[in-house]
């Protein structure tokens, strides 16, 4: 399902063009992952599992990248729009998802049908990671990606990333293929739903007023993106971890949960 290298680069380049912002701005809508509560938007229950790089609060090698993203997020929040439109994520939770596993209704349903699901998922991934690590070719280069720019999604705003070169892309696609084609994971109900679009989410959409000037909003985002293009930070992918989440604000793990060092 995932793109080849050149198709991926072309697709993401298009997502950061002014016309993409204009088009996407027509379709933005309130995220159901946050709801108003006592005047503030709070994260609602949205449980599941994912395979991600360590969150910013636990990551040292990409600290410069995340520090830059925090600055970008603050600039985003200063745009002259309805203050309820953009719901920021805490910078401590910033991360890159390498493979979505299972979430929300699907996770709750499978938990009811299979009380041992969590245990079996952990065991299967631990075995898979161990085998994958042994088969990994001796790599002389790090897996480096770089921020390409801002992207507008139907319910969120993020920055997207592109690989430094084709081998850096193929390493990640090979890992994803290993996950989604694993018979044991498939039997547990894990399946691929999306093409890979490497991104770090900065915020979700809250109240999308009928009075929102969408063309003006898209212009603001385009101008912000042009400003950021002068200083695009690099991102090093050196570890992926199994993480659990109860909502979109925190991703946690126990010390014995599976990890894979690239």
Q: What is the DSSP string of the chain?
A: -PPPHHHHHHHHHHHTSHHHHHHHHTT----TTEEEETTEEEEPP--EEEEEPPPGGG-STTHHHHHHHHHHHHHHHTSSS-TTTEEEPPGGG---EEEEEEEHHHHHHHHHH-TTHHHHHHHHHHHHHHHHHHH----SS-EEEEEEEEEE-SSEEEEEEEESSHHHHHHHHHHHHHHHT-HHHHHTT----S----EEEEEEE----TT--HHHHHHHHHHHHHHHTTS--EEEE-EEEEEEESSTT-EE--TTS-EEE-
What CA–CA distance (Å, rounded) separates 142 from 122? 27
* Whole-structure pTM value: 0.96
As a whole number, mean pLDDT of residues 209-234 equals 93
CA distances from 254 to 103, 122, 241, 251 (A): 19, 11, 10, 11
What CA–CA distance (Å, rounded) separates 197 from 2? 9
**pLDDT bucket at 40, cuts 50 / 70 / 90:** confident
Please say whether the beta carbons of 204 and 31 come within 8 A: yes
Task: Quote the pLDDT of residue 229.
Answer: 87
Residue 58 sits in a domain whose CATH number is 3.90.1140.10
Residues of the domain holding 64: 5-261
Task: Quote the pLDDT of residue 38.
Answer: 82
Range of weakest confidence among 33-42, 78-87, 172-181, 240-249: 33-42
**Residue 12, number of CB atoms within 10 A of its CB:** 19
> Can you read off the two tokens belonging to residue 142?
């790090």
| Number of separate domains in the chain | 1
What CA–CA distance (Å, rounded) separates 32 from 41? 11
pLDDT at 138 over 70: no
- For the stretch 54-108, pLDDT in tens is 999 999 999 999 999 999 999 999 999 998 999 999 999 999 999 999 999 999 9
pLDDT at 139 over 70: no
Its sign, for the CA torsion 236, 237, 242, 244, is positive
């Amino acid at each position: 399902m995932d793109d080849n290298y050149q198709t991926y680069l072309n697709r993401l380049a298009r997502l950061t063009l002014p016309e993409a912002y204009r088009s996407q701005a027509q379709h933005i809508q309130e995220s159901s992952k946050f709801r108003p509560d006592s005047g503030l938007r709070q994260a609602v229950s949205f449980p599941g599992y994912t395979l991600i790089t360590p969150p910013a609060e636990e990551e040292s090698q990409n600290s410069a990248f995340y520090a830059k993203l925090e600055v970008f997020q603050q600039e985003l929040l200063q745009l002259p729009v309805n203050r309820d439109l953009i719901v920021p994520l805490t910078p401590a939770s910033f991360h890159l998802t390498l493979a979505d596993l299972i979430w929300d209704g699907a996770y709750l349903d499978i938990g009811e049908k299979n009380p041992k699901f969590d245990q079996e998922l952990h065991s299967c991934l631990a075995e898979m990671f161990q085998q994958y690590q042994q088969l990994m070719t001796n790599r002389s280069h790090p897996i480096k990606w770089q921020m390409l720019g801002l992207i507008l999604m139907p319910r969120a705003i993020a920055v997207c990333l592109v690989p430094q070169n084709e081998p850096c892309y193929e390493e990640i696609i090979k890992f994803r293929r290993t996950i989604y084609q694993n018979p044991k994971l498939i039997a547990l109900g894990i399946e691929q739903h999306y093409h890979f679009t490497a991104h770090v989410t900065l915020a979700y959409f809250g109240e999308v007023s009928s009075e929102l000037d969408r063309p003006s909003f898209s212009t603001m985002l385009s101008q912000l993106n042009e400003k950021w293009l002068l200083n695009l930070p690099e991102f090093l992918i050196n570890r992926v971890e199994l993480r659990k989440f109860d909502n979109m604000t925190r991703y946690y793990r126990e010390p014995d949960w599976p990890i894979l060092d690239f």
